[in-house]
Amino acid sequence: MSGGPADRAVLSAANISMRYRRGGKLSGSEQIQALDGMSLEVRSGEILALVGPSGSGKSTLARCLAFLERPDSGEVGFQGEAVPWEDVLAMRGLRRRVQLVFQDPARAVSPRFTTEQVLREPQQAWQQRASPQRALDWAQLLAEVELDPKVLPMRARSLSGGQLQRLVLARALVTEPDALLLDETFSGLDLSLQAKLANLVLGLVESRGLTCVLITHNSALAEQLADRSLVLSQGRVVDERSAPDASTGGTS
């Protein structure tokens, strides 16, 4: 991978703020400032890590960058242009290009769906509007995430945790996105599985030329995988760490 002229922003956020209201006996009616004037750029082809404790706004930021949530103020941009939140049809087209993968795959799929149904859903949603219709190469898709084609007719509830995690990765790839947002995808996994999945994602980023945003609280993992890390705290970017350049500094 070479940086150079391809360093344009795939995703960007300019001064975005997001506030949630929470009501409750203990907390009173309190407002939570999830994002507080955050700005960042995700460059094409890079792996960017967002590191921070829970409550620092990582997941809200991910939802905004995946165009699932509109910030209260500020602008979210895709490939240099501000996202047209009002244009519902255009937004649908945009959402397929940025895919979000969550931490707990068991809660991200219906346990009664078969693997094939899980993968068909985004395909159908996308192809209703796409023309010409495109057939999906199941075998190739499953091979990409190292899943056995035998799982296609199996129901999601009968898959192991590792298989499910691969399945939700495959689902995210169905719509051929430009960017992949991984929200704590590697958290709470066994060491050996975490390593296998991280390697799998590295392979996908390389073979598909994806841009990847890795949200994690594991800073060792972020350092091993990412080109750049942003440290978030209380809805702001408080620190930026770039990996040293291979040509100038540091040996492995």
Partner 1 sequence: MTKPIDSNPDPKSPVLRLDRLEVRYPSRTAESDAVVVDGLGCEIARGQAVGVLGESGSGKTSLALAVTGLLPSEARCSMELEILGRPVPAAADERFWRRLRGDTIGMVFQQPSLALHPMRRVGLQVADVLLSHRPWSARSCRRKVMELLDELDLESDIFQAFPHQLSGGQRQRIVLAQALACEPSLLVADEPTTALDRKTEIQVLELVRRLSRERQMALLWISHDPGVLAEITDRIYVMYAGRWMEEGPTESLLAEPNHPYTKLLLDCLPRRKALRSEPLDRRRLTVIPGMAPPASELPSGCRFVDRCPVVTESCGEKPSPVPMGQGRTWCVRAGSTRLGSGP
Residues near partner 1, by CB under 8 A: 1-3, 24-27, 47, 53-54, 161, 188, 190-196, 198-199, 202-203, 205-206, 217-218, 220-221, 223-227, 242-247, 249-250, 252
CA–CA separation, 120 vs 193, rounded Å? Answer: 26
**Angle, in degrees to the nearest 10, between helices 115-127 and 161-174:** 10
Give residue 250's region: left, alpha or beta (phi > 0; psi -120 to 50): left
Task: Count Cβ atoms below 10 Å from residue 12 Cβ, excluding itself.
Answer: 22
**Of residues 149 and 188, the one with the C-beta less far from partner 1:** 188
CB of 225 to partner 1, least distance (A): 6
CB of 192 to partner 1, least distance (A): 5
CB of 81 to partner 1, least distance (A): 27
**Of residues 89 and 150, the one with the C-beta less far from partner 1:** 150
User: What is the C-alpha radius of gyration for the chain, rounded to an integer number of angstroms?
Assistant: 19
CB of 248 to partner 1, least distance (A): 9
Calculate the alpha carbon distances from 241 to 41, 155, 235 in Å: 14, 42, 17
**Of residues 87 and 206, the one with the C-beta less far from partner 1:** 206
**Of residues 72 and 240, the one with the C-beta less far from partner 1:** 240
